[in-house]
Amino acid sequence: MSDKILESLIRAEIRRQKETLDLIPSENIVSHNVLAALGSPLTNKYAEGYPGARYYGGNQYVDQIENLCRARALKLFLRQQADYKKWSVNVQPYSGSPANLAVLLALVPTGEKFMGMRLDMGGHLTHGHKVSATGKLWQAIHYGVDEKTELLNYENILRLARKERPKLIIAGFTAYPRQIDFKKFRRIADAVHAYLMVDMSHFAGLVAGGAHPSPFPYADVVTTTTHKTLRGPRGAMIFTNRESRTANRNKVDIAKAVDKAVFPGLQGGPHVNQIAATAVALKEDATQQFKKYVHQIVKNSQALARELQRLGWRVVSGGTDTHLLLLDVAERGIGGKEASDKLEQNGIIANKNTIPYDHRPPMDPSGIRLGTPALTTRGMKEKEMKIVAGFINDVLAKNENVLALVKKLCRKFPIE
């Protein structure tokens, strides 16, 4: 690279990634093949529109790339040929937030109601938080978790849905450590004639590899980012069920409505290099090796949770069924900000996070969120999770410095 300033910054970031333990559950480490597609001259091309219907010339290869990506996406999540004919997928969203915004734009008239999980109990900004466009343009109704169990209470969600009559219900999370019962969400949506949208961004990889139930038999729309457990480039996809059970209500083909909302509703030219890199990742995600990988992610987060509990830490909801867990650090007298800062000084990267019914402010909440996708990509297993839990305990409970030990462990599990 002739830009020496930038080259040295990129090299420094690569070194940082190699020498630290990444426990942010929404991050991962992509393959060289994904990086190659992302850094290819496909970035030079404008391709506004969809395959076969573009506004610019020169898209003969781009059309094939986008169609290949769509076919791989459908095949990965819908095992039966009949099913993947029923579903449509849009692979153009730049990332998760515009994908979720596009679905709302397509299916819920502005000013009307939709329902999602509260951000401070595990939802996402785009599930209707007041600072997000989704909370400004629509009336967002929020459900949370049960105060005692810290789990979703489907009876309460049903009661709220009956009272508020939302047009769409979002099931999905960024910080809920448990599996979601999609069947129950479907019943709730049916009871009020709402669309059911599942935002599987966090656990899409687990669904693809069979380590988490699939939302596809139940949802009208499924959104996902591509860069988390799916281990692809930053981006997103929107799947729509053409036979959506609620579609007749408005006589609308929801696949067409979503396509129109993505382009020209919200976006211009798609990032073709990103779509190609997604296609590469989706091929990797269909392998036996990936299946083993995602099962190991869950075993690792459960091992991490168990060991932290053994060391006296409170894990929100008592454990995890997924790739992430929430640790209540305030219970041991430490703020979430102080905890994540101290861990970072020791080469352990985690994020501060609210816990359900948090009394502390979001900038210094009661918890930290820990996830195992990136460490599992590096090849770590349950044995290493015990070591990592020990590091966390040494830093937070004993104020010890473990930086040298962290670096040593990182060297044992290098990033390719």
Which residue out of 19, 48, 83, 382 is catalytically annotated?
Answer: 48
46 is catalytic: yes
Q: Does 340 participate in binding ligand DSN (rule CB under 6 A)?
A: no
Question: Using CA atoms, how far apart are residues 253 and 244, in angstroms rounded to an integer?
Answer: 8
Q: How far is the CB of 201 from ligand DSN (least distance, A)?
A: 6
Cα 397 to Cα 50, 52, 335, 343, distances in angstroms:
55, 60, 12, 11
**Which one of the listed residues 75, 118, 187, 234 is annotated catalytic?**
234
Distance from C-alpha of 73 to C-alpha of 71, rounded to nearest angstrom: 5
Site for ligand DSN contains 96 (CB under 6 A): yes
- Catalytic site includes residue 225: yes
- Count the Cβ atoms, other than its own, within 10 Å of residue 27: 16
Q: Of 88, 128, 83, 85, nearest to 108 (Cα)? A: 128
Nearer to ligand DSN (CB atom), residue 99 or residue 105: 99
Active site residue 199: yes
Determine the Cα–Cα distance for residues 207 and 3; give it in Å rounded to an integer.
Answer: 41
Judged by CB, which is closer to ligand DSN: 167, or 352? 352
Nearer to ligand DSN, 124 or 271 (CB): 124
Positive or negative, the CA dihedral 54, 58, 60, 66 is: negative
Binding mask 375-414 for ligand DSN (x = CB under 6 A): ----------------------------------------
Judged by CB under 6 A, how many residues of this single chain contact ligand DSN? 4
User: Is the CB of 132 or the CB of 346 nearer to ligand DSN?
Assistant: 132
Question: For ligand DSN, what does the binding mask look like between residues 156 and 185, x meaning CB under 6 A?
Answer: ------------------x-----------
Nearer to ligand DSN, 124 or 378 (CB): 124
Q: What's the closest the beta carbon of residue 404 comes to ligand DSN, in angstroms?
A: 28
The answer to whether the CB of 128 falls within 8 A of the CB of 117 is no
- 228 noted as active-site residue: yes
Cis peptide before 270 (omega within 30 of 0): no
DSSP summary character for residue 293: H
Q: Closer to ligand DSN by CB, 78 or 305: give it.
A: 305
Q: Which of 46, 94, 154, 357 is catalytic?
A: 46
Query: How near is the Cβ of 26 to ligand DSN at its closest, in Å?
Result: 3
CA distance 135 to 125: 8
Q: Is 234 a catalytic residue?
A: yes
Q: Cβ of residue 365: shortest distance to ligand DSN, in angstroms? A: 14
Please choose, from the candidates 57, 55, 64, the residue with its C-alpha nearest in 3D space to the C-alpha of residue 272: 64
Q: Helix and strand tally (H, E) in the chain? A: 17, 15
State in angstroms the smallest separation of the CB of 301 from ligand DSN. 15
Catalytic residue among 167, 178, 228, 231: 228
Burial of 98 (0-12, 13-18, 19+ CB in 10 A): buried
Specify the residue, 99 or 395, whose C-beta has the smaller distance to ligand DSN. Answer: 99
235 in contact with ligand DSN (CB under 6 A)? no
The CB-of-122 to ligand DSN minimum distance in angstroms stands at 10
Structure tokens at 54: 């573009």
26 near ligand DSN, judged by CB under 6 A: yes
Which residue out of 20, 223, 224, 225 is catalytically annotated?
Answer: 225
Residue 323 — φ and ψ, nearest 5°? -95, 0
Contact between 224 and ligand DSN by CB under 6 A: the answer reads: no
| Min separation Cβ 174 and ligand DSN, Å | 4
| 193 vs 187: CA distance, rounded Å | 10
Indicate which residue of 66, 120, 199, 259 is catalytic.
199
Q: Per residue, what are the HEC states of 156-208?
A: HHHHHHHHHCCCEEEEECCCCCCCCCHHHHHHHHHHCCCEEEEECCCCHHHHH
22 vs 384 by CB, closer to ligand DSN: 22
**Shortest-Cβ-distance residue relative to ligand DSN:** 26
Residue 96 Cβ, how far from ligand DSN at the closest point, in Å? Answer: 5
Which runs of consecutive H residues, i.e. helices, occur in 360-399?
373-377, 382-398
* Residues paired with 197 in a beta bridge: 170, 221
Q: Which residues are catalytic?
A: 46, 48, 199, 225, 228, 234
Residues that bind ligand DSN (CB under 6 A): 26, 96, 124, 174
